[in-house]
Structure 1
Amino acid sequence: MAKKTYRSMDDFAVACGVSRPTLSKYFDDPSQVKEVTRKSIEAVLKKSNFEPNLFARHLNRKRTKNIGILVPTMADPFYVQVVSLIEIELRGKGYWPVQISSHTRPELEEEAVRTLLSLKVAGAIVAPMGNSSRKFALERLKDAIPIVCFDSPSRFNLPFVGNDNAQSVAAIVQYLCRSGEPPVFLDVPHLVENTNERTESYSATMAREGHSPLVIACDAPPSWEFERLGYEQMNHLLAKGGLPGKTLLCANDRFAFGAMAAAFAAGLKIGRADGCDIRIAGHDDHPLSRYACPSLTTMAQNAPEIAARSVEMLLNLLDEDAAGRKAMPNSVILEATLVMRDSA
């Protein structure tokens, strides 16, 4: 038997024998309506294919339950992982995530801000683009709604959740120094603040370990295509007469993937076993790091905790009852974990 179709919330409310506000209250939280009313609504639901337009209902409110999520790119698995976790956290707490990517383009980041504001989002969780951002874009957003940043802090001293890059890079540098030849650091373009932190931590840790740091800057134009940059940089180094050392620490895993591909193409054997020509390590624990050949030694960021704490901080800011707000730090910095695999 075909289920009955209702064209609108008003039609469905009439069929249930309740008012439109009561129906809205039910879809927000069934426990808010009387048991007899709840059973009446659910009986009609079972006989219909009605689904409330939650997005439209939220837009009609003074304060919506939509939360914006803005990241530079969804081509980076780290952002994919964290955004997915943030969405699950928000939906579990009764909020509707609205995710937008700026595709690493400043004009699209600005457009994304306008879109989020037009959708009346209650707040936003943002991974800033860093140096390439247009300052007034994020400024406009922060002036309108509460914001929490992750991955890279903003220039506006907004609440922030991110990785302790000083700790994580120090940990992997110490491991590499104590397990073999000290590492050379293959840098990436400094597009966001956390890149500067990683380079500085490498140099400071090498000095503490009694070694001279050697940072090789990426000589290509700035780009978020880290695999390509890593491949080209490694080829460039090999073409100049060889590598400056037998242990390479890459600023992130995606750059390391490119460097590993170029080294393999040049006939070099990568790994920590006897007879290998070079060790290569990265940072972030990219989802494919364990499946590289050889598997990549790296530092694993605490993505679940980054997502959970970002949501917690934002919802605390959104609490309309000031007395109910928790006393929370303006920034949460999380330690990463060394993951030793075959590449170094």
Structure 2
Amino acid sequence: MSHQKIRNMEEFATLSGISRPTISKYFNDPDSVRSSTRNKIEAALKEYDYRPNIYAMNQNRRLTKNIGIVVPYLADPFFAEIARVLERRCIDAGFTPTLFSSHGEQGLENAILDTLRSLKPAGVLLAPLGRASDRKYVEQFCRDVPTILFDSNIEGVGAAFVGSDNFSFVSQTVEYLSRTGNVPCFFEMRDPANPNANKRRHAYLEMMRRLDLEPHIVKIDGMGWGFEEIGRQGALKVLRDKLLPTSTVLCSNDRLAIGFLSACHELGVTVGRDDACDIRVASHDDHPYSRFTCPSLTTAAHDYESVADHAVKTLFQLIEAGGKLNNREETLFAARLIMRGSA
């Protein structure tokens, strides 16, 4: 037996000639390493009389009470609202949430994940950028840290995804608008920042096909997350140039719709469901301010509470299961149509 004092697992790895990850794996589950490796580790333990610091191991295994919450753009009221509910659920369960915003930037999203990995949280609730994310980076993070994706799915990444059913949103608005007036055109950004926008466009096209109606897509220029101003500028152009194919407009999201309503007010275009009005406008999300627009915005609403509750519940199950579920789960919650004054 060696009389050399070993202070930590790194020193033991150096002296024994066995990699640090392999030794950590052995201490978590001796049967998870090959028998020859296990014999070598156990012989080295006897030789150096080394015993690991159990408290430090628990810290490394993320048995803390910290939860990371990552959203792509905190200034977006949708993310502010769902982050508020997620934080409340974590606090009520005795955890300490920490909120991060990636500001729509892949590099910043990666840096946040690196920071979280170093903080060793119990788990993470991540709304990724989606197609703008570094898939391999996010995938590796989800292997290292118990992580539930919400809002924006990356197929096959993470233990579970919890979000809203985009077809449920659009099917309800298209059916309602088509039944109560002329057919809606779909108003969207040419290069949308949020990947849910693409799913909503596909849902619009599918619903118009099912209803045997001619679809009309109106694309506007603009990049980034400043959707209100993008919507306003796009609406000013299509209204001034008389580019709208119908007098019913279905916006991809409420923030674009708020910009559209602003342009209508600026140009003196009346919005509403009355026959005397020039145009109808509807949208998706139930932005926290959509009920306060003028006129108030008809929209399909997220079930904020159910998405947040299920995401947090699934994360706690993942943490208790040691970071792995039997199968990757995907849970979608249906929208609810809210009829207001704009359509």
1:332 alignment partner, SS class: strand
8 Å contact kept, 2:62–2:121: no
Give the length in aligned residue pairs: 284
8 Å contact kept, 2:236–2:263: yes
1:42-57 equivalent positions in 2, closer than 5 A: none
1:330 and 2:332 equivalent?
no
Displaced runs of 4 or more, over 3 A: 58-62, 325-329
8 Å contact kept, 1:313–1:328: no
1:210 and 2:216 equivalent?
no
Alpha-carbon separation, structure 2, partners of 1:107 and 1:198: 27
Alpha-carbon separation, structure 1, partners of 2:302 and 2:146: 25
Amino acid at match of 1:151: D
Amino acid at match of 2:250: L
8 Å contact kept, 2:63–2:122: yes
**Alpha-carbon distance change, 308 to 62 in structure 1, aligned in 2, over 3 angstroms:** closer
**Alpha-carbon distance change, 147 to 62 in structure 1, aligned in 2, over 3 angstroms:** closer
TM-score, scaled relative to structure 2 = 0.78
After TM superposition, the structure 1 stretch with the greater mean CA deviation from structure 2, 284-293 or 143-152, is 143-152
Instruction: Give 1:187 shift.
Output: 1.4
Match of 2:136 in 1: 136
8 Å contact kept, 2:139–2:157: no
Q: Deviations over 1:96-141 (max 9, x none)?
A: 1111111111111111111111111121111010122223331231
Amino acid at match of 2:137: A
Match of 2:124 in 1: 124
Match of 1:76 in 2: 76
Instruction: Calculate the aligned-residue CA RMSD, in Å.
Output: 2.1
8 Å contact kept, 1:59–1:119: no
**Alpha-carbon distance change, 128 to 308 in structure 1, aligned in 2, over 3 angstroms:** same
Alpha-carbon separation, structure 1, partners of 2:62 and 2:148: 21
Q: Return the match for 2:199 from 192, 197, 200.
A: 197
Could you list the runs of 5+ residues in structure 1 that have no partner in the other structure? 1-57
2:285 alignment partner, SS class: coil
**Alpha-carbon distance change, 109 to 331 in structure 1, aligned in 2, over 3 angstroms:** same
8 Å contact kept, 1:71–1:102: yes
Amino acid at match of 1:73: Y
Q: Deviations over 1:227-250 (max 9, x none)?
A: 011111111112323522100000
Match of 1:240 in 2: 241
8 Å contact kept, 1:146–1:318: yes
Amino acid at match of 1:161: V
1:164 and 2:174 equivalent?
no
Match of 1:318 in 2: 319
Alpha-carbon separation, structure 2, partners of 1:61 and 1:246: 58
After TM superposition, the structure 1 stretch with the greater mean CA deviation from structure 2, 98-107 or 151-160, is 151-160
8 Å contact kept, 1:281–1:297: yes
2:242 alignment partner, SS class: coil
